[in-house]
Amino acid sequence: MGIVETPPQCPVDSIILKAAGKHYPDTKWGCVNSIEEHQRKIAFLETAKGDSKDSLAEWELKKFKA
């Protein structure tokens, strides 16, 4: 909408992890207890995003709505 800047990334939650292809227990977003675990999940989402030119936040929004 052009009102605020696009966030640098999306929330790492079970809905988007499932949409990206993760399976339980890897969808347990509440088990992110270290920056390394968070970075692994973001890297997974970036890989799942593939060639999309969307930012990770925009890609997540489209997946979340699907």
Tell me, yes or no, if the pTM score tops 0.85. Answer: no
In whole numbers, what is the pLDDT of the chain averaged over residues?
A: 82
pLDDT at residue 47 is higher than 80: yes
Q: Is the pLDDT confidence value at 35 over 80?
A: yes
What the block records as the tokens of 58 is: 């925009």
Q: What separation in angstroms does the CA of 45 have from each of 19, 21, 56?
A: 10, 9, 8
Q: Pull the structure tokens for residue 22.
A: 């993760």
Positive or negative: CA dihedral 41, 30, 62, 2: negative
